[in-house]
Structure 1
Amino acid sequence: MFPYERLSVRRGPESGLPIIVAIHSTARGPAIGGCRLASYPDWRDGLADALRLSAAMTDKCALAGLPHGGGKTVVVAPPDLSPAGRVAAMHDVGTTIDELGGAYATGPDVGTGPSDMLLIGERTDHVFCRPESAGGSGDSSPATAAGTVAALRALCEFRFGSPDLSRRSFAILGLGRVGAQIARLLPGSHLVVSDIDESKRSLIPGAEWTSPEKCLQADVDVLVPAALGGVLTPAAVPALRCTAVAGPANNQLDAPATAKLLHDRGILWAPDAVVSAGGIIHATAVELRHVPPAEALTLVEAIGDTLGALLRAAAKDGIPPAEVAHRTAANS
């Protein structure tokens, strides 16, 4: 049986690009999920991405206690997409979402930001993270970074006996909007950082710069994946030298079975569906449920409590945290 409630795949009438919207579930409430604009070898790779990410969003919402299900938008775009083509693509996204009648709302993801949400908002009201000047909650990356740091404190308290991050070493793989902010929120910690973009080398003064491959294999307390997913594979796990892994990148595992490989090696993996939820918690609270910003930040900080409880439950049962996360999400 097809485990998704709704799938829309169309050639955008204004852009001519493949516009994909996958709704995994609305059992908890309207689906939410980011709009990803990226190049793929084939449009069907974008479809696979949308399906996988929308299912992950259902778990993320359930674990965060949000009254939403999971969805995802993917725009399959050429690397040289023009500014006019981008505007047309965002308009196509807005039109497609509006036709769903409120079953799904979108926000930023890889390749998009608040200005793109403003364009989508010209075609639908079902969008969040528009610029603050336009009445939205703005860039979600500060909340995602804050939630990740709250998760890192909980993880370090569980594994090392103290939430003091200045006593630990971290390898941050990816210095995008979220990864760079996480690095800046870790003063006093020993940092190894990397990004495929060499121009970001000077973003974090005092940090040790290395290649992405070496960063993945750095001898540190905690590896923080903060770029694209799929970095934890059966080939990568044996070469890891960290004690734990926790980061905001979505879908860090290439397959669910890789969680057991990490567990068998004694590497504690904090499920990304919990760690990365800060942005979506904050944005949907402020824009969709009109929660005061200060209260929304408190909800983001609660990620640490959620992760701590999950890690303790996994340790009690002697199973990978991923299994507890999946079980908790399924029963929510």
Structure 2
Amino acid sequence: MNSGRLTNFLIPLLAVLLGVIAGSIVMVISGYDPIAGYSALLYGAFGDSYYIGETIRQMTPYILSGLAVAFAFRTGLFNIGVEGQLIVGWLAAVWVGVAFELPKFIHLPLAILAAALAGALWALIPGFLKARFKVHEVIVTIMMNYIALHVTNAIIRFVLSDKSYKSEEIHESASLRSEFLQSITDYSTLHYGIIIALIAAVIMWFLLEKTTKGYELRAVGFNQHASHYAGMNVSNNIVLAMVISGAFAGVAGAMEGLGTFANISVKAGFTGVGFDGIAVALLGGNNAFGIILSALLFGALKVGALEMPSSAGVPTELVDIVIALIIFFVASSYLIRLLLTRVKKEGK
């Protein structure tokens, strides 16, 4: 393994380790045992088949939201709108799941496709504005998140339900739930979405690394001016990159709507999955395989943390601080990379 790859491998591990240490310090200062706290977290994530099933189920949307963020990163864009694209994808999937009664082999793919299309269309707007008018995608995608949240809530209340706060449950023919997966994980909420998420990771890897269009997208992200002089259509590639990124995010929403919850309800705030996708992508090095491992960590943190208050007596507020510290160091991994580079230069 060359030094560059070794550095890329060590940086995420060091970021997680620093986060764990910082969380331990906070627990000690607050009068709690960090060993008991982290033991409870590990047990809550991997302690038995039920917890393992919940962890894998939780990592499913994290993989897809991480892929959405990473795809945009790899093509020179910063898609902060994954959260909004996920929400509209969730809505579209449930809408199709409720509105039609079809054979499963038609209904389920149709609902997932609707989610991908909704996420892609939501991402098309900032992509077009970036390509046509040079409007920065970060500003537009942040605003689009709020529009997605409130428009979706209005549609749920006045279209998908009779002024209530939850849609009807989707038909079984559109469901990702699996009696087999639930039975082997002590009836957790694990569903077939994990297979779709893994396939999506392979698709991203293949598209970016093995196709001419993927090379073109990466080239535009690396240097737009050079790509233009090489004869590439920069504007079209910017729009296409955002559309593909949004499609991944929309499918992440479908995993929640068709698998975990089987409906959609009015939300007081954001789900957080789309925003966590930024940290998932950063920790995974914007690499499809790395994102899978990163999503596993975030899924374990999310599910395992639920065990810390009951088993270790750590208050919920402190659990949130510990998890936030780990995410902070993960998201700041580029600083760790800078420090390692500086140490390496001074050592020569």
What TM-score results when the alignment is normalised by the length of structure 2? 0.25
Greater relative contact order, per chain length (Cα 8 Å cut-off, separation 6+): 2
Q: Which has the higher helix share?
A: 2
> Whose strand proportion is higher, 1 or 2?
1
TM, length-normalised to structure 1: 0.26
